[in-house]
Chains A and B, each alone.
Chain A
Amino acid sequence: MKKDTLNIGKREFSSRLLVGTGKYRDFDQTRDAVEASGSEIITVAIRRTNIGQEPGQPSLLDVLPPDRYTLLPNTAGCYTADDAVRTLRLARELLDGHNLVKLEVLGDADTLFPDMVQTLAAAETLVRDGFDVMVYCSDDPIMAKRLEEVGCVAVMPLASLIGSGMGILNPWNLRLIIDNARVPVIVDAGVGTASDAAIAMELGCDGVLMNTAIAKAQNPVLMASAMKKGVEAGREAFLAGRMPRKLYSAAPSSPTGGLING
């Protein structure tokens, strides 16, 4: 059987689970959870350095070295296309020209729902500037298509709100996006537990990106392992092709003849 890989632009990955690095207790827990998840693509945020902080303090990239993981800098917290573009240009400089990025432009501080007008504008600028853009978006099939058309290398619709853990709330929209997409579709946001990740993959998603579901589990490292298995199980089930649903048409799995009371 041909190796089942996730191809994003010209890059190839064997893991279909992408994880964030926020909200962990400390860097040790971050590293252990990332390792347990088996993820190859790891999101990071870009922030002002604390001026006057003690030199020699450990940094995130010491525990997650860029030569071992594919770092995916994000634009979390950006509310305009301009801020998002500036942030990712800084990220590219920070990571020695690495051009694979996660774009998200938020529209509302309460729901963290994306502003798709700003998102599309930023995507166009970034693609023109040579970035490989993986884009967080609403689960609107038309917007997902527009983002693909301007050159994004992956579209990443929400399954439910960021950090909500509410799971896959609109599988039908996700299916529409998947069926129409020619780039990978990665569910980004909303997954709460391993079955949510499996459902996303069974729908035909190419991958799942999550942070809070692992970081805020009671045991993040164990949940990271569970998510790895959930994504793998869902992917295999999708490839295997599930049996048809047959409401009111029960069919026994054992022979109908040869019963001792026959």
Chain B
Amino acid sequence: MSELLTSIQLNGRLHPIQPGQTLTDLIAALALTGKRIAVERNGEIVPRAHHAATVLTAGDRIEIVIAVGGG
């Protein structure tokens, strides 16, 4: 199996996923549960309420962002 079939692009980098892994699982694995974050999947916002029902697919482009200092 090629790496692409078992990985997503997470914030621009390859990241391995488990079969059936949801966005909620991923966020927990990254220790980001309860943090103020926002998630985009393949260019579309995934609202917080949909994280648990969103099953990751190989090749997904996931962006997880936070607020930082800026002008």
Check if A22 sits within 8 Å of B70, measured CB to CB: yes
Which among B35, B36, B38, B71 has the highest number of chain A CB atoms within 10 Å?
A: B71
Identify A49's interface contact among B13, B37, B40, B47, CB under 8 A. Answer: B37
Q: Which of A38-46, A145-153, A179-187, A228-236 contacts B (4 or more CB under 8 A)?
A: A38-46
Check if A47 sits within 8 Å of B71, measured CB to CB: no
Identify A48's interface contact among B36, B43, B63, CB under 8 A. Answer: B63
Identify B11's interface contact among A23, A49, A210, CB under 8 A. Answer: A49
Contacts of A211 on B, CB cut-off 8 Å?
70-71
Identify A94's interface contact among B11, B32, B65, CB under 8 A. Answer: B65
Check if A74 sits within 8 Å of B12, measured CB to CB: no
Interface residues on A, range: 35 or more
| 27 CB-based A-B contacts, threshold 8 Å | A20-B70, A20-B71, A21-B69, A22-B69, A23-B69, A24-B69, A44-B67, A45-B68, A46-B65, A47-B65, A47-B66, A47-B68, A49-B64, A51-B11, A59-B35, A60-B66, A60-B67, A60-B69, A61-B36, A61-B67, A89-B40, A90-B45, A93-B38, A93-B48, A94-B67, A95-B67, A209-B71
